[in-house]
Structure 1
Amino acid sequence: MRQLLFLFSLSIAGCMPAPKNLDIKDPKALPPITLFMADTVTKYNIDSLPKGRPTLLVFYGRNCPYCDTMTENIVKHIDTLKDVNVITLSAGEFHYVDVYDKKFELSRYPNIKNGLDYNNMLLAFYGAQGLPFVVFYDKDRQIKRANLGPLSVDSIRYIIDKAPASPIVADKKPV
């Protein structure tokens, strides 16, 4: 039985894609993520974001109630975050990105971009192991903090404005 379990585990591991070799020059800088937008045709490169503004990456998943609640609160209090680039991204399916976009009407907000991280850059770069996974970048596009789990808009605003950069995150090399 052990041999069968071992062979099964080995076959599953063989089906997993090889980790991407990330050629990142500055591990503290915003990674070069390209999103497929909800229309499944348009590509959006994060380098196109307005410069000089903090950036918030929110990695969400299908049927994640914590992700839904957090996104709902962000949209509800969007005036509080109007000076922040908000990127909501998923590594799921195109269909779900479109559903998420329509559910929260994300395309209505000029500072929110929602798309599919089709290269799984966020997972490869940070090794995120839960949802929602939130990464904060300062106005100079340098990592400030990463958080696993939902945050209130007040907490998001505090981290953007007042919290010091986390030395644990800032010194961490990408996976």
Structure 2
Amino acid sequence: MKKILYLLALGLLIAQPGKSQQSQAEEAQLPYMSDKTLPPFNIMEVDSTTIFNTDKLPSGEPIVLMYFSPDCEHCQHQTEEILKNMDSLKDVRFVMCTALPFDKMRNFWAYYKLANYPNITMGRDYEFFFSRHYGSQYVPYLAIYDRHKKLVKIFDGGTKVSTIIALTHDGSGS
């Protein structure tokens, strides 16, 4: 019996590096890894009738894509920090998207009074593009693009607002 458990444990240890390599290979194949340009994708806006495509975003201003869950405390905190620092981020375009139902998204939109911020667009990722393109595993997930719509940095699990400000205001962001 001990010999069987030993062989099973050994087999798991041997299989683990292969799994890690497989995950790295899968990540390298994600579309954002090979094309650093802002991808065109659709979200259904809060009104549940308007489709917004990221192609509509103008060049000339940094863009932050934020994939979030309205129920996620980290997402709520990330949003609060962004809003507290909006004076420094007013020239940054935010596109917030979620795959969760409209009622949850609308409640988030209303609670944070996001309609008061013309540089924030929010919608439902009804085609589930975001997770396929970026391989996002955690929320909030942020993809920061410069004013030329080129990827600057990815944050899977959020980041400090000071980092967002730095990346969107230095030479790589704006």
TM-score by length of structure 2 reads: 0.76
Q: How does 1:1-175 map to 2 (within 5 A)?
A: 27-162=35-170
**SS, match of residue 152 in structure 2:** strand
Rate the CA distance shift 1:66–1:23 in 2: closer, same or farther, 3 A: closer
State the structure with more CA Rg. Answer: 2
Cα root mean square deviation, aligned = 2.1
**SS, match of residue 50 in structure 1:** coil
In structure 2, the gaps of 5 or more residues are: 1-29
Separation in 1, partners of 2:129, 2:107: 22
Residue in 2 aligned with 1:172?
none
Separation in 2, partners of 1:23, 1:68: 28
- The number of residues matched between the two structures is 143
> Quick one: percent identity of the two aligned structures?
31
Note the C-alpha offset of 1:40. 0.8
Note the C-alpha offset of 1:164. 5.9
Amino acid at match of 1:118: Y
Kept in 1, the 8 Å contact 2:93–2:119? The answer is yes
Amino acid at match of 1:66: H
Separation in 2, partners of 1:156, 1:105: 21
In structure 1, the gaps of 5 or more residues are: 1-21, 166-175
TM-score by length of structure 1 reads: 0.75
